[in-house]
Amino acid sequence: MTPWEIDPARSAVLVIDMQRDFVEEGRPMEVPAARGAIPGIRAVCDAARSAGAPVIYTQHVLLDEFDVSPLETAYNPKLRQLGMREGTDGVEIVDELAPMPGDVVIAKHRYDAFHNTRLDSVLRSIRGLNGIDTVIITGTLTEVCCESTARSAFMRDYKVALVSDATGALLEGAQKATEAVVATFFGRVLTSAQVINELAAARVG
């Protein structure tokens, strides 16, 4: 039994960290599977915009002035010198998914897109007070920033939909593992086609 269905009037799409440094070949934090997620992300975003649901992008940003995410760089030392630097083209959203007028872009410094960002405030006000109660998560890395954000959304009482073919993992087996965890404990795992169908059905209804 489906616990809930997507209502475009109360939903927002999150596009997590689809930046050049993650997506493009040869970049410092390349995630090959992220490139495969682009068609699904684009389809979901287009359907959401058509249904009047907001699309919100995040950008993972590191700084040269100081180590803004010291444990992240401790576990991945190459990030102390390169990758996702403020003011570089590496933080830019890839051209294939470029934000449209009316979309929101939010910078973050931790895996969780809610942590010390304006995301929660945007979600709770962009469609009137507490108008959004569902987040549709796309982007990369599935097992890191997408899963961290999904868990955090759940803790804030948002309904969570993780889009299986619109997210890209790095580690072997991580995509299926995250999907299993989310589906069991934190929300629904849907394909892009299922998301689009629910958005369309709600509009017709």
Q: How much is the pLDDT for 203?
A: 62
Instruction: Give the residue among 124, 143, 119, 157 at the shortest CA–CA distance from 31.
Output: 143
Nearest 5 degrees, angle CA 153-CA 155-CA 160? Answer: 40
Nearest 5 degrees, angle CA 175-CA 49-CA 130? Answer: 85
Q: How much is the pLDDT for 205?
A: 47
Confidence check: pLDDT of 127 > 70: yes
This prediction's pTM: 0.96
pLDDT, average across residues 35-63? 97
Q: How much is the pLDDT for 1?
A: 80
Active-site residue set: 17, 108, 145
The band of 133, judged by pLDDT with boundaries at 50, 70 and 90, is: very high
> Amino acid letter at 113?
A
How far apart, in whole angstroms, are the C-alpha atoms of residue 24 and residue 196? 26
How far apart, in whole angstroms, are the C-alpha atoms of residue 97 and residue 39? 9
| Domains of the chain as residue ranges with CATH | 8-204 (3.40.50.850)
Q: Which range (49-63, 153-167, 190-204) has the least confidence?
A: 190-204
Confidence check: pLDDT of 181 > 50: yes
State the average pLDDT for the chain: 96
Mind listing the pLDDT tens digit for each residue in 183-202? 999 999 999 999 999 999 86
Q: Which range (84-88, 116-120, 155-159) has the least confidence?
A: 84-88
Confidence check: pLDDT of 113 > 50: yes
pLDDT, average across residues 16-45? 98
Q: How much is the pLDDT for 94?
A: 98
Highest mean pLDDT among 63-67, 82-86, 180-184, 199-203: 180-184
Instruction: Give the residue among 140, 129, 137 at the shortest CA–CA distance from 187.
Output: 137
- pLDDT over 90 percentage in the chain: 96
Q: DSSP labels for 116-171? A: TSSHHHHHTTBTBTT---EEEEEEE-IIIIIHHHHHHHHHTT-EEEEEEEEEE-SS
Write down the residue that tokens 């868990």 correspond to: 151
